[in-house]
Amino acid sequence: MTEPTVKNLDTGTPHSARLWNYWLGGKDNFQADRDAGEAIAGMLPSIVALAREDRKFLRRSVEHLVRDGGIRQILDIGTGLPTADNTHQVAQNVAPETRVVYVDNDPLVLVHARALLQGTDEGETTYVEADLNDPESILRAARETLDFSQPIALTLLGIVHFIRDDEAALAVVRRLVEELPPGSYLAIAHGCHDINTEEAHRIVDFWNERGTPKIKYRSSAEIAAFFEGLRLLEPGVVPCNRWRPEGDPGEDVNQYCGVAIKE
Ligand SMILES: C[S@@+](CC[C@H](N)C(=O)[O-])C[C@H]1O[C@@H](n2cnc3c(N)ncnc32)[C@H](O)[C@@H]1O
């Protein structure tokens, strides 16, 4: 990968954003990320499909929210390294005036995002370095770009599972949703151990011994609890490959997702 401009970058510890990038076929990863990626894929081969199905869910859900839900503002927390079909591209392809605020706590992600994620002239695309554990600073920064009197789609894809304490994770999601006006949406994709349960526990343990940030897979019922007080859209909380697939959904993956509206 190109020489990072981030100081004190720890390339010896596998990192979630770079591991994700590796499974998605990107080049923004280091040997430690590739080694962990291969080892995990050896234990749960569908993990590569999991990353790709998550991205397909991102595309289908964002397209749906902008095209059919009238959404023109998106708060995307857990941006990840730029890849194909990034949130602002999907949204602004449907409605160029859409404003997108990206949030991530990894400085390497932000360096790449600022360089590569350029939005349309009509819309606006901004980047915030902040931590999901600190929703107040996210909300403060998001208000500089987004109008909180108009509907907003909050997308939390592949990130809530990095808050391992159940109460803390629920509190953060509730706090963010609390600030959204009616007509807003919440989309979540989250690691799940309902299927391939033994392998799922093994890969989580493997990752938590070596990688950062540490992760917690949850059951589909625990993932559904993040949507409490909202109305879940069909088909509810399902593996990403089963959320309104365009063709054959293929093999179920250990990443479950849902989209709900705040009425
Ligand atoms: C697995 S990637 C998901 C990327 C993208 N949302 C997707 O679904 O393809 C997770 C991202 O969340 C970021 N992240 C993890 N924990 C975070 C936290 N507490 N606050 C902000 N970002 C976090 C990581 O840096 C990484 O870029």
DSSP secondary structure of 29-79: --HHHHHHHHHHHHH-TTHHHHHHHHHHHHHHHHHHHHHTS---EEEEES-
**Percent of residues in the chain assigned helix, strand, coil, to nearest 5:** 40, 15, 40
Average pLDDT over residues 17-28: 96
Check if 110 has its Cβ closer than 6 Å to any atom of ligand 1: no
Consecutive H or E run containing 23: helix 16-23
pLDDT for 4 beyond 60: no
Q: Nearest-CA neighbor of 244 among 83, 87, 61, 39?
A: 61
pLDDT for 108 beyond 70: yes
Per-residue model confidence (pLDDT) at position 45? 98
Per-residue model confidence (pLDDT) at position 13? 95
Per-residue model confidence (pLDDT) at position 6? 65
pLDDT for 61 beyond 90: yes
Check if 123 has its Cβ closer than 6 Å to any atom of ligand 1: no
Q: In angstroms, what is the C-alpha Rg of the chain?
A: 17
Per-residue model confidence (pLDDT) at position 8? 66
Q: Do strands 238-239 and 255-261 pair parallel, antiparallel, or not at all (unpaired)?
A: antiparallel
Residue nearest to atom 25 of ligand 1 (CA): 106
For 25-47, what is each residue's pLDDT tens digit?
Answer: 999 999 999 999 999 999 999 99
For 187-221, what is each residue's pLDDT tens digit?
Answer: 999 999 999 999 999 999 999 999 999 999 999 99
Per-residue model confidence (pLDDT) at position 5? 55
Per-residue model confidence (pLDDT) at position 1? 45
Mean pLDDT, the chain, integer: 95
Check if 37 has its Cβ closer than 6 Å to any atom of ligand 1: no
Check if 17 has its Cβ closer than 6 Å to any atom of ligand 1: yes
**Cα–ligand 1 centroid distance for 104 (angstroms):** 6
Where are the chain's structural domains? 16-261
Confidence band of 7 (pLDDT split at 50, 70, 90): low
Check if 61 has its Cβ closer than 6 Å to any atom of ligand 1: no
Kindly state the percentage of the chain with pLDDT values over 90.
Answer: 88
Per-residue model confidence (pLDDT) at position 196? 98
pLDDT for 81 beyond 70: yes
For 153-183, what is each residue's pLDDT tens digit?
Answer: 999 999 999 999 999 999 999 999 999 999 9
Residue of 52, 89, 105 best suited for mutating to test ligand 1, as the one with most atoms within 8 Å of CB = 105
Per-residue model confidence (pLDDT) at position 240? 98
Q: Which residues of 216-250 are buried (b: 16+ CB within 10 A; e: fewer)?
A: bbbebebbbebbeebeebeebbbbbbbbebeeebe
Confidence band of 115 (pLDDT split at 50, 70, 90): confident
Residue nearest to atom 12 of ligand 1 (CA): 78
Residue nearest to atom 13 of ligand 1 (CA): 78
Q: Name which of 93-102, 104-113, 197-206, 244-253 the model is least confident about.
A: 104-113
Per-residue model confidence (pLDDT) at position 107? 86
Residue nearest to atom 11 of ligand 1 (CA): 78
**Cα–ligand 1 centroid distance for 223 (angstroms):** 17
- The conformation of residue 4, written as its DSSP 8-state character, comes to P
> What is the fold, at CATH topology level, of the domain defined by 16-261?
Rossmann fold (3.40.50)
